[in-house]
Amino acid sequence: MTANIVYEGDLRTVATHHTSQSIIETDAPIDNQGKGERFSPTDLVATALGSCMLTVMGIKARELGINMKDATASIEKIMVTNPRRIGEIKVHIHFPNHIMVDEKQKIILERTALHCPVHKSLHPDIIFDIVFNWA
């Protein structure tokens, strides 16, 4: 089992990770009858993409002897209607000055990110705007 999720009412859930017992709370977004006080489930999907991309890049960077510490990803999720779903995810990955890579390593790391499991799991109708900002 991966997680246990409890619906607490008022459009809020609490998910507990089975192995670590860490907790994620969700709330419906303001534009869908919620309070927007926590990540929404669709926020988590978009956020998972950025987190997955940084994680697999970190694995590949470690293999290449590159320190990826302090790389960041900015995420923007855009919803569409009919049916209501994620229509676009914008991911901008930023690399601080201390990450020194050559052109070949940049290509390897970018391709690795684009092949992360979350990216490969999302619906092909979603538009992805992915930008790699190298210092």
Together in a domain, 23 and 58: no
The pLDDT score that the predictor gives to residue 119 is: 97
My answer on whether 88 and 121 are in the same domain is yes
Which residue stretches of the chain have pLDDT < 50?
none
Residues 45 and 86 reside in one and the same domain = yes
Q: Decide if 89 contacts 75 (C-beta within 8 A).
A: yes
Range of the domain at 47: 41-133
Quick one: 47 and 92 in the same domain?
yes
CA 88 vs CA 17, 37, 95: distances in Å = 27, 22, 23
Same domain, 59 and 117: yes
* Total number of domains in the chain: 2
Domain with residue 77: its CATH number is 3.30.300.20
Pairing type for strands 85-94 and 127-133 reads: parallel
- Whole-model pTM? 0.94
Strand order from edge to edge, sheet including 3-9: 3-9, 12-17, 23-27
Say whether both 86 and 123 belong to one domain. Answer: yes
* pLDDT computed for residue 135 by the predictor: 85
Statement to judge: residues 96 and 50 lie in one domain: yes
Which pLDDT tens digit goes with each residue over 73-99?
999 999 999 999 999 999 999 999 999
Whether residue 75 sits in one domain with residue 19: no
Does 83 share its domain with 124? Answer: yes
